[in-house]
Structure 1
Amino acid sequence: MGVIEAAEAVRRRFSTVPGLFKVPAPGVEMYVLRDFLADKECSALIALIDEGREPSRLLAHTGDPEFRTSESCNLDPTHPVVRAVEKKIAQVMSLDPACGETIQGQRYAVGQQFKPHHDFFFTTEAYWPEQERNGGQRTWTAMMFLNAVEDGGQTQFPEAKVRITPRKGNLLVWNNLDEHGAPNMTSLHQGMPVIAGVKYVITKWYRERPWTPSLAAATTLY
């Protein structure tokens, strides 16, 4: 199934999910489902992130030490809570689970941020040949907020003029490609600096083909 056909399958599935709504985001296909994760799931995932967190990394260096200052970790896919969450995501997304990357957990303390970036891969970058072999382009992003942040920490899409406030248990989904299946520059987004409190999220990215990472790719945090 190509990326355009897969996107159509996602839309058909989304049309049947109670409570899921499309966000009015000009130029970006974006959806929110409230209370996707239960409180117990959020608490368990936060504990896993705290156990495994380390400074976040980038596939391509920007030369800006403040570009991504959060902490991250790949969550163990064999953990019972992670398995349960994976199952819930698969039921909603209607994408081949084999195309999904390992869920990544992220923690943002006061002042930490992730400056404007795209989740899709730039094919001109040195990392692309390996990523192309390991499943190809990123298509959809599924982000889940694990807690409410006291102040700051919004996920902002500056080109689409949309800002999403972290709400415990909410699922935010967007398509990183346009209607033609090409990388969508308007999907530019950022994790705004946390002003008060701590922000916890988990993110699952999907590829255009089954994800078969090399050892190096599997340990790279992006």
Structure 2
Amino acid sequence: MTEIITKKSIGVVLFPGFELLDVFGPLEMFGTASEYFNICMVAENSSLVESKQGPKSLAEYSFEEPITYDILLVPGGEGTRREVRNESMLAWLRKQAAHAEYVTSVCTGSALLAKAGVLDGICATTNKIAFDWATSQGPEVIWKKQARWVEDGKFFTSSGVSAGIDMSLAIIQKMLGQETAEQIAIWAEYDWHRNASWDPFAKLCGLV
């Protein structure tokens, strides 16, 4: 009998000034297991959204649509400085986080979750260069200065940019098993940092 696989939906929120690798690093990992995941790009309005680096990505879904996602992925980037004042964004994040099986962020994406109140009382981390600004968005969050990523219940938050790839592989390992995660890392020729506490950048940025 053929196994029937129910795909998990991944809602990736885009906004002007998002960081490219924050989005497409994790999506390369999840997308390699496309039989298990359905990736959906979402923005306040369904349209092309310009990244910090310039290239635009198409958000096929908007905040107005009555859809909730199994996995929420929130990238960082310079645009987060504006989005922490965007109540439409914050309200959408609160709604999605309440329903999601996993809530994840890369870089200063955790600042958006923190500003929305989603991370209150939760252990989390963020970009080390922008640590002071990001952590100021959520005084009730238990911020970890030294961590590649932090897992606290259904919440996975990662450090700067490339750390999102390691976090995503950790989530895949949790959901699909170690062998699948290892096969994806090998296929991508990626040197997977499996230790969540590996974080030389905290010291480089004077946090420890």
TM-score past 0.5 threshold: no
Structure 1 or 2: more strand by fraction = 1
TM-score interval, smaller chain? under 0.3
What's the TM-score once normalised by structure 1's chain length?
0.25
Higher relative contact order (CA 8 A, sep 6+): 1
Structure 1 or 2: more helix by fraction = 2
What's the TM-score once normalised by structure 2's chain length?
0.26
